[in-house]
Chains A and B, each alone.
Chain A
Amino acid sequence: MPSLGADMESAVLVEWLKAAGDAVKRGDIIAVVETDKGAIEIEIFEDGEITDILVEEGKRVPVGAPLATILVEGEAAVEAAVPETTVEKADATPPVQPGPVLKPQSVDEGSPERASPAARQFAKEQGIDLAAVQGSGPDGAIRLADLQEAGIQPPTRGIDPEAMRHAIATAMSRSKREIPHYYLNHRMDVSAAQFWLDDYNADRSPPERILFGALLVKAVATAVHEFPEFNGVYEADGFIPSKTVNAGVAITIRGGGLVAPAIQNADALSLSELMTQMRDLVGRVRRGSFRASELTSSTITVNSLGDRGVEGVFPIIYPPQVAIIGFGKVSRRPWVIEDEVLPRPVLHMTLAADHRASDGHRGGLFLNAIADQIASPEAL
């Protein structure tokens, strides 16, 4: 069970999307777990074969407990400890001999359709004929979500507002307790960026357009290259800078709560690729389905209040990260250009940074570098 945040101690395994005997490759979603932040999809980071499922659906297990045994290519089968099992001293246990991998009995008994165990169990309880349901899982396997698509209401696994509140409380309290924040504020005229964006969007169909928010994320991800002390995590041994820029994007959940999943390598994506990923991420967050790696891999976070927010935001760092940049809404304000006062679209941006990892002087330069990126959107 991976740790999906500083505040997580355990989680419930809700659904297996793969069974023992299935081949898996890096990036496959293999299971869904229920945490305080809602249902999270667990990915696999190796190619291989699942030889053993160690945790039944519906069971709560602590962080760190093994969920399944995966045999990577060329590796011999070795028995893994089941969470509740007491492991005996190594010298008292004879080494397990490598042997053939046993394929367990098929879960498809009595029905030819491939389905996840949770979908199968639910269908059995409700007397649903799985042959009538279109599957969207691996090899067309039917998942719980497909039953919902078919108009059948499966057990809810959405976001529990109370648990979400608890998760936010834990993470934010830790942040304010442990991280000596400093705050820097900057204002800029964003007319050049808005003109560029209007021009870019003018002859594009709605799905191909770019939102101002994507431009802000790209500007931060690009600017942080020169300021590595703001990109990484602060652990027990001090600050560890990150080689990649995984931009956490704060996404509000209507009805309460927020999450800040990461867009991996945001600096390397084009604006349109970034926009596509942000759109996908927001959609999945609102449906209550996101991946474990997205919740834990952010190296810096961007919090944009958008056009219905207020002028400025002073955000709280999400531990173990060391910086978060808050953008307020763009407002028309008087702006001095040479000797004239002109109405201009003005953006407030705030850097909240960890004083253990960086100082205010460099923070100011970093904010200026972000402003330079926003002022030259054609280069992003």
Chain B
Amino acid sequence: MTREDLKAIFVEELTGIAPEIEGLKIQDSDNIQEKFDLDSMDIYNLLAALHLRLNIDIPDSDAPRLLTMNDALEYLLEKISE
């Protein structure tokens, strides 16, 4: 899976949780929680969605590593290749 494929999946799952962000531009360096006003339930739902979609385990303590698009993609690529 390429970084671009993963990015598409990440954006799709994020949009599923926060439908109102559809069509908005997401920069790789954006803090998604701040930019899109996500609360703890949204982050919880995002972790759950990525867990099911990518079949990877994401410990709760790793949630801060998913806050920007750059960090999230790096983390997810690392997890997928494990």
Contact = CB atoms under 8 A, between A and B. Distances in A.
A217 to B, nearest CB: 12
Contacts of A252: 39
Contact of A212 (B17, B20, B40, B45): B40
Contacts of B59: 202
Contact of A282 (B37, B41, B47, B50): B41
B40 A206 contact: no
A319 to B, nearest CB: 26
Nearest to B41: A282
Contacts of A213: 40-41
Interface string B26-57: 00000001001101110011011011100001
Nearest to A198: B60
Given A202-B60, A206-B47, A254 B41 contact: no
Interface string A186-226: 00000000000010011001110101110000000000000
Which of A198, A207, A213 counts the most chain B CB atoms within 10 A? Answer: A207
B9 to A, nearest CB: 15
Contact of A211 (B33, B44, B52): B44
B23 interface: no
A205 B44 contact: no
Contacts of B36: 254
A306 interface: yes
A209 B37 contact: no
A240 B18 CA distance: 39
Given A209-B44, A279-B44, A279-B45, A308 B39 contact: yes
A226 B45 CA distance: 34
B52 to A, nearest CB: 7
A212 B19 CA distance: 24
Interface residues of B, number: 21
B72 interface: no
The size bracket of the interface on A is 20 to 34
A233 interface: no
Nearest to A208: B48
A254 B45 CA distance: 16
A331 B4 CA distance: 37
Nearest to B50: A206
Given A254-B18, A283-B45, A286-B18, A209 B60 contact: yes
A206 B41 contact: no
Contact of A207 (B18, B19, B41, B51): B51
A124 interface: no
Given A202-B60, A206-B58, A286 B40 contact: no
A278 B44 CA distance: 12
Given A283-B45, A286-B18, A306 B40 contact: yes
Given A205-B57, A254-B20, A286-B18, A306 B48 contact: no
B20 A207 contact: no
Contacts of A201: 60
A198 to B, nearest CB: 7
Interface string B53-72: 00001111000000000000
Contacts of B41: 211, 213, 278-279, 282
A255 B57 contact: no
A332 interface: no
Nearest to B16: A283
Contacts of A307: 39-40
Interface of B: 17-20, 33, 36-37, 39-41, 44-45, 47-48, 50-52, 57-60
Enumerate the 5 nearest inter-chain pairs by beta-carbon distance, A residue then B residue, closest first.
Answer: A206-B47, A206-B48, A207-B48, A206-B51, A201-B60
26 contacts: A202-B60, A205-B48, A206-B44, A206-B50, A206-B51, A206-B60, A207-B48, A209-B44, A211-B40, A211-B41, A211-B44, A212-B40, A213-B40, A254-B36, A254-B37, A278-B41, A279-B44, A279-B45, A286-B17, A286-B18, A286-B20, A287-B19, A306-B40, A307-B39, A308-B33, A308-B39
